[in-house]
Amino acid sequence: MYYEKDKWFAKKSGQWVQNKIKYVKGVRHILEEYGLWLEKDLYNPIKKWRLDCKSKDTSEDSKYCAHHFLASQPDFMSQKTALHEAVEDSGHIFELYPKFHCKCNWIERYWSAAKREARLQCDYTYKSLDKNIHTFLDHTGKLPNIRWYYNRSWRYIEAYSQEMNVKEANDVVVGH
Protein backbone atom coordinates (compact mmCIF):
# COMPACT_ATOMS: atom_id res chain seq x y z
CA MET A 1 0.00 0.00 0.00
CA TYR A 2 2.97 2.28 -0.58
CA TYR A 3 4.33 3.97 -3.59
CA GLU A 4 7.72 5.61 -4.03
CA LYS A 5 8.65 8.94 -5.48
CA ASP A 6 12.01 10.55 -6.04
CA LYS A 7 12.55 13.77 -4.20
CA TRP A 8 15.45 16.19 -4.05
CA PHE A 9 16.89 17.21 -0.71
CA ALA A 10 19.53 19.78 0.17
CA LYS A 11 22.20 18.51 2.55
CA LYS A 12 23.80 20.79 5.17
CA SER A 13 26.77 21.13 2.84
CA GLY A 14 24.47 22.62 0.23
CA GLN A 15 24.78 19.56 -1.98
CA TRP A 16 21.55 18.25 -3.54
CA VAL A 17 20.75 14.56 -3.28
CA GLN A 18 17.91 12.51 -4.61
CA ASN A 19 16.10 10.15 -2.26
CA LYS A 20 13.20 7.78 -2.64
CA ILE A 21 10.30 8.71 -0.38
CA LYS A 22 7.58 6.26 0.55
CA TYR A 23 4.02 7.51 0.49
CA VAL A 24 0.98 5.69 1.78
CA LYS A 25 -1.49 5.18 -1.04
CA GLY A 26 -4.67 7.11 -0.55
CA VAL A 27 -8.21 6.00 -1.31
CA ARG A 28 -8.19 7.70 -4.70
CA HIS A 29 -4.84 6.19 -5.69
CA ILE A 30 -6.00 2.64 -4.83
CA LEU A 31 -9.36 2.99 -6.58
CA GLU A 32 -7.63 4.35 -9.69
CA GLU A 33 -5.36 1.31 -9.74
CA TYR A 34 -8.42 -0.93 -9.56
CA GLY A 35 -10.00 1.09 -12.36
CA LEU A 36 -12.84 1.91 -9.98
CA TRP A 37 -12.41 5.63 -9.52
CA LEU A 38 -15.50 7.60 -10.51
CA GLU A 39 -14.94 11.19 -11.51
CA LYS A 40 -18.49 12.40 -11.07
CA ASP A 41 -21.04 12.07 -8.34
CA LEU A 42 -23.51 9.44 -9.61
CA TYR A 43 -26.45 11.28 -8.12
CA ASN A 44 -25.39 14.74 -9.08
CA PRO A 45 -23.09 14.55 -12.14
CA ILE A 46 -22.24 18.24 -12.15
CA LYS A 47 -20.40 17.59 -8.90
CA LYS A 48 -17.20 15.69 -8.34
CA TRP A 49 -17.40 12.34 -6.58
CA ARG A 50 -17.03 12.77 -2.87
CA LEU A 51 -13.96 11.24 -1.25
CA ASP A 52 -15.60 10.68 2.12
CA CYS A 53 -19.19 11.32 3.12
CA LYS A 54 -18.21 10.76 6.80
CA SER A 55 -21.34 8.72 7.34
CA LYS A 56 -21.04 5.84 9.80
CA ASP A 57 -23.97 4.18 8.08
CA THR A 58 -22.54 1.25 6.14
CA SER A 59 -25.90 0.28 4.69
CA GLU A 60 -25.90 3.26 2.36
CA ASP A 61 -25.25 2.78 -1.35
CA SER A 62 -21.55 2.03 -1.47
CA LYS A 63 -20.96 4.30 -4.47
CA TYR A 64 -22.12 7.32 -2.55
CA CYS A 65 -18.52 8.17 -1.70
CA ALA A 66 -15.06 6.82 -2.53
CA HIS A 67 -14.34 5.83 1.08
CA HIS A 68 -17.39 3.58 1.34
CA PHE A 69 -16.90 2.22 -2.14
CA LEU A 70 -13.36 1.08 -1.36
CA ALA A 71 -14.48 -0.42 1.94
CA SER A 72 -17.15 -2.45 0.12
CA GLN A 73 -14.64 -4.17 -2.19
CA PRO A 74 -14.41 -7.94 -1.49
CA ASP A 75 -10.67 -7.95 -0.72
CA PHE A 76 -11.06 -5.03 1.68
CA MET A 77 -14.00 -6.66 3.40
CA SER A 78 -12.12 -9.92 3.94
CA GLN A 79 -9.03 -8.15 5.36
CA LYS A 80 -8.58 -8.97 9.04
CA THR A 81 -7.44 -6.31 11.46
CA ALA A 82 -3.79 -6.18 12.59
CA LEU A 83 -4.89 -7.29 16.07
CA HIS A 84 -6.83 -10.24 14.64
CA GLU A 85 -3.82 -11.37 12.61
CA ALA A 86 -1.39 -10.98 15.53
CA VAL A 87 -3.60 -13.05 17.86
CA GLU A 88 -4.11 -15.84 15.33
CA ASP A 89 -0.45 -15.88 14.28
CA SER A 90 0.48 -16.62 17.89
CA GLY A 91 -1.81 -19.65 17.91
CA HIS A 92 -4.84 -18.26 19.72
CA ILE A 93 -8.47 -18.07 18.73
CA PHE A 94 -9.68 -14.55 17.95
CA GLU A 95 -13.28 -14.07 18.94
CA LEU A 96 -15.10 -10.79 18.49
CA TYR A 97 -18.16 -10.14 20.56
CA PRO A 98 -20.89 -7.95 19.18
CA LYS A 99 -21.16 -4.58 20.90
CA PHE A 100 -23.68 -4.99 23.64
CA HIS A 101 -24.38 -4.13 27.22
CA CYS A 102 -21.37 -4.88 29.43
CA LYS A 103 -23.54 -6.93 31.80
CA CYS A 104 -23.87 -9.47 29.01
CA ASN A 105 -20.13 -9.95 28.60
CA TRP A 106 -18.50 -12.12 31.25
CA ILE A 107 -15.03 -10.65 30.70
CA GLU A 108 -16.26 -7.30 32.00
CA ARG A 109 -17.02 -9.05 35.31
CA TYR A 110 -13.52 -10.46 35.38
CA TRP A 111 -11.94 -7.04 34.72
CA SER A 112 -14.17 -5.47 37.30
CA ALA A 113 -13.20 -8.06 39.95
CA ALA A 114 -9.52 -7.63 39.11
CA LYS A 115 -9.84 -3.84 39.34
CA ARG A 116 -11.60 -4.14 42.69
CA GLU A 117 -8.80 -6.34 44.02
CA ALA A 118 -6.25 -3.87 42.67
CA ARG A 119 -8.00 -1.00 44.46
CA LEU A 120 -7.99 -2.90 47.76
CA GLN A 121 -4.40 -4.17 47.58
CA CYS A 122 -2.63 -1.44 45.69
CA ASP A 123 -0.68 1.44 47.20
CA TYR A 124 -1.55 3.56 44.16
CA THR A 125 1.91 3.56 42.67
CA TYR A 126 2.56 2.36 39.17
CA LYS A 127 5.51 0.31 40.41
CA SER A 128 3.38 -1.74 42.75
CA LEU A 129 0.60 -2.14 40.18
CA ASP A 130 3.14 -3.38 37.67
CA LYS A 131 4.51 -5.85 40.23
CA ASN A 132 1.14 -7.15 41.42
CA ILE A 133 -1.13 -7.06 38.41
CA HIS A 134 -0.61 -10.71 37.56
CA THR A 135 -1.53 -11.73 41.11
CA PHE A 136 -4.74 -9.68 40.90
CA LEU A 137 -5.63 -11.27 37.58
CA ASP A 138 -4.77 -14.78 38.81
CA HIS A 139 -6.74 -14.40 42.05
CA THR A 140 -9.88 -13.13 40.42
CA GLY A 141 -9.47 -15.37 37.37
CA LYS A 142 -9.60 -18.77 39.03
CA LEU A 143 -11.77 -21.22 37.12
CA PRO A 144 -14.73 -21.20 39.57
CA ASN A 145 -14.76 -17.39 39.41
CA ILE A 146 -14.70 -17.39 35.61
CA ARG A 147 -17.62 -19.84 35.63
CA TRP A 148 -19.50 -17.54 38.00
CA TYR A 149 -18.93 -14.47 35.78
CA TYR A 150 -20.03 -16.49 32.77
CA ASN A 151 -23.19 -17.86 34.36
CA ARG A 152 -24.18 -14.48 35.68
CA SER A 153 -23.84 -12.94 32.23
CA TRP A 154 -25.98 -15.70 30.79
CA ARG A 155 -28.67 -15.07 33.37
CA TYR A 156 -28.73 -11.40 32.32
CA ILE A 157 -28.90 -12.41 28.66
CA GLU A 158 -31.82 -14.73 29.45
CA ALA A 159 -33.62 -12.04 31.43
CA TYR A 160 -33.15 -9.44 28.69
CA SER A 161 -34.28 -11.88 26.01
CA GLN A 162 -37.54 -12.18 27.94
CA GLU A 163 -37.83 -8.44 27.37
CA MET A 164 -37.37 -7.52 31.01
CA ASN A 165 -36.29 -3.99 31.77
CA VAL A 166 -33.08 -3.20 33.67
CA LYS A 167 -34.69 -3.33 37.11
CA GLU A 168 -36.61 -6.54 36.45
CA ALA A 169 -33.51 -8.22 35.03
CA ASN A 170 -31.51 -7.12 38.02
CA ASP A 171 -34.13 -8.44 40.44
CA VAL A 172 -34.18 -11.81 38.75
CA VAL A 173 -30.41 -12.20 38.50
CA VAL A 174 -29.27 -10.66 41.77
CA GLY A 175 -32.44 -11.63 43.59
CA HIS A 176 -33.35 -8.55 45.60
Of 71 and 129, which has the nearer Cβ to Zn ion? 71
Residues 53-82 that bind Zn ion (CB under 5 A): 53, 55, 64-65, 68
Of 67 and 155, which has the nearer Cβ to Zn ion? 67
Q: Could you give the CA distance from residue 48 to residue 166 in angstroms, rounded to a whole number?
A: 49
Least distance from C-beta 56 to Zn ion, angstroms? 9
Of 68 and 109, which has the nearer Cβ to Zn ion? 68
Q: What is the CA radius of gyration of the chain?
A: 26
Q: Count the residues of the shown chain that bind Zn ion, applying the rule CB under 5 A.
A: 5
Of 27 and 87, which has the nearer Cβ to Zn ion? 27
CA atoms within 13 Å, Cβ hemisphere of 56: 0
Least distance from C-beta 36 to Zn ion, angstroms? 14
Instruction: Assess 103 for contact with Zn ion (CB under 5 A).
Output: no
Residues 129-168 that bind Zn ion (CB under 5 A): none
Q: Which residues bind Zn ion (CB under 5 A)?
A: 53, 55, 64-65, 68
